[in-house]
Amino acid sequence: MTTLREPSERVDRRAVLMWTLGALGNSVFTYVVLLVVALVWDAVPFRWWAAVLVALAFAVYSVLMPRWRYAVHRWEVTDTAVHTQVGWWSIERRIAPMSRIQTVDYEEGAFARLFGLAAVTVTTASAAGAIAIEGLDKHLARRLVDQLTVRADAVAGDAT
């Protein structure tokens, strides 16, 4: 009997900083909106301790989530398949056989580009959708796209 193991490769360590800054930005924006609503809307009495508690929760989230996410996110490419594991609260593992790969995409988002990172998306005929590997060094991501394209092309069949 074969068991499903974790993929062997981790995403780039710079992804932790990128996810931390993204979480901080989202937390600050959400906190300011909540604070303005609480101060302007008379139906909800403003409590300073509640504002401190919410700020503390956002700070904890912004510090812990990226590290937890880094511990979970993994990927691996073998001769026969692409294997990923993503998530932080819930964990999802996906395997795409080389024979099912339809397209391989490379993306450098504006925020990821600041950290020299990129994402590779593998589209298959699966109803579950594409497999994305985020937080890769951009040079590694380009090599991975080339490698997957060659391997998928070498497999017989039409990937449907």
Q: How far apart are CA 115 and CA 141, in angstroms?
A: 13
9-10/91-97 β-pairing: unpaired
Q: Between the CA of residue 150 and those of 11, 98, 129, 144, 157, what are the distances in Å?
A: 22, 10, 21, 10, 14
pLDDT of 109 above 90: yes
Residue 28 · residue 20 · CB < 8 Å: no
Q: What's the average model confidence in pLDDT over 41-48?
A: 78
Structure confidence by residue, pLDDT tens digits, 62-74: 999 999 999 999 9
Cα 64 to Cα 14, 117, 154, distances in angstroms? 15, 21, 42
Share of the chain above pLDDT 90, in %: 70
| Prediction pTM value | 0.84
